[in-house]
Amino acid sequence: MHLVIGGAASGKSKFAENLVFQTDLPRIYIATAQAFDDEMRQKIVAHQEMRGPEWITKEAPIDLAQAISYCPEDHIVLVDCLTMWLSNLMLADYDLEAETRTLVQTCTARKGPVVLVTNEVGHGIVPDNSLARKFRNAQGRLNQDIAQVCDRVTLVVAGLPMNLKGSA
């Protein structure tokens, strides 16, 4: 497992996709974003066009662990991104700790490779409202839990990858 973490628009998704392209394995892209407005719909279409037809795309805004568990072991899986998934869970009032445990267990049990993309939200200011602080704290815990079980962790800043864990 490889976790790719970074700020918004840091280049983390492009870096993660390049990791996947370095293998000869069939590719599965698990998308967690939901298109609630025109801007997001356009962003999703742009990402799909950039990836091209070589990818199998699965939508999993909530049931991420289940989507990962259904992927064939001989495929490489790219999840983009855990931050959107967590947002979806919060908005739907799921038990974040239970869902995180299930995701960690599913990823750990998977025999095939998986690359997970997530945002680092702890580098900014302390949010001024309770919901934003709850999200920031939940995202930090999720990132820590996933990073702990990953073989590799890469921080991407300004498009530059920095190895945090595992062999480069």
- Catalytic residue ranges: 47
Strand partners, 77: 28, 114
Q: Please report where in the chains the tokens 């921080």 appear, as a residue.
A: 155
DSSP 79: E
- How many Cβ atoms sit within 10 Å of the Cβ of residue 13? 19
Q: How far apart are CA 55 and CA 33, in angstroms?
A: 17
Q: Tell me whether residue 147 is exposed, middle or buried, using C-beta atoms within 10 angstroms of its C-beta: 0 to 12, 13 to 18, 19 or more.
A: middle
Q: What length is written for the chain?
A: 168
Task: Find the largest Cα–Cα distance for the chain.
Answer: 46
154 half-sphere exposure, CB direction, 13 A CA radius: 24
